[in-house]
Amino acid sequence: MFILSEKWKEVHPEARVATLIIRNVQNRETDPKLETRKRALEKELCLNLGNKEENTLKNIPPIQAYTTYYKRFKKTYPLLQQLKTVVIRQQPFPTVSGLVDAMFLAEMKNLLLTAGHDLGKVTAPVYISAAAGDEHYVKLNGESQTTKPKDMIMSDGEGVISSVLYGPDERTRMTLQTREVLFVVYAPAGIDAESTHRHLEDIRENVLLFSPQAEAEPIIIHSC
């Protein structure tokens, strides 16, 4: 289902992309078990990081690796901003849906950038590549976006479904009707395979909290 382009291998030789497919999911708006897990992580993050300066947060290894990547494109790592919202401003995690919250909870725990897609809306095969800079797609917020040259992207038979810099597309977004889901972790140089695997395991466990009948396929780590 997944094809690694030679361009991706050439431009990002030390990067990895990890994928997890979960089928037979029963998505829902909220779930008490997931909410309990969210509250516990909020407390843990505030306890461990709440008194840290911004520069200290930037030096956390995963954030450091992503900051280096984003700096190449003169951008900032969005999960750092979201982490500051939780530990400095002490704002609670948002509630969107079970699948979205399961992914975001793991992102805040592990600080690894993740995209989620409704697998039923994805036209296989999926290509992992480096952008030419002339690809266009519609982001989650409905805005049209042109890719940045050399950014890591994923595309299916109909076009780009996500990029590191601009996130997932609107066409394959997860909804309450999603029954099969594809989670993707973009890991630039500096993020090891074990971390990406553990991160996807956390997402799987979060999904099983509200959808215990869900069936997860083996995690795949794609690398050069």
- And the tokens for 95? 């509630």
pLDDT digits (tens, 9 = 90+) for 182-213: 999 999 999 999 999 999 999 999 999 999 99
The whole-number pLDDT of residue 58 equals 86
Give the CATH number, domain containing residue 121. Answer: 3.50.40.10
- In the chain, which residues have pLDDT < 50? none
- And the tokens for 161? 């479904």
The whole-number pLDDT of residue 189 equals 94
Domain that holds residue 11: 2-31+97-223
The whole-number pLDDT of residue 48 equals 87
Query: Does 54 map to a domain?
Result: no
Domain tally, the chain: 1
- And the tokens for 45? 């993050």
CA distance 83 to 80: 5
Query: Does 20 map to a domain?
Result: yes
- Give the three-class secondary structure for 144: strand
- And the tokens for 188? 């630039």
The whole-number pLDDT of residue 107 equals 97
Which residue is it, tokens 């066409």? 171
pLDDT digits (tens, 9 = 90+) for 205-215: 999 999 999 99
Query: Which of the 8 DSSP states describes residue 121?
Result: G
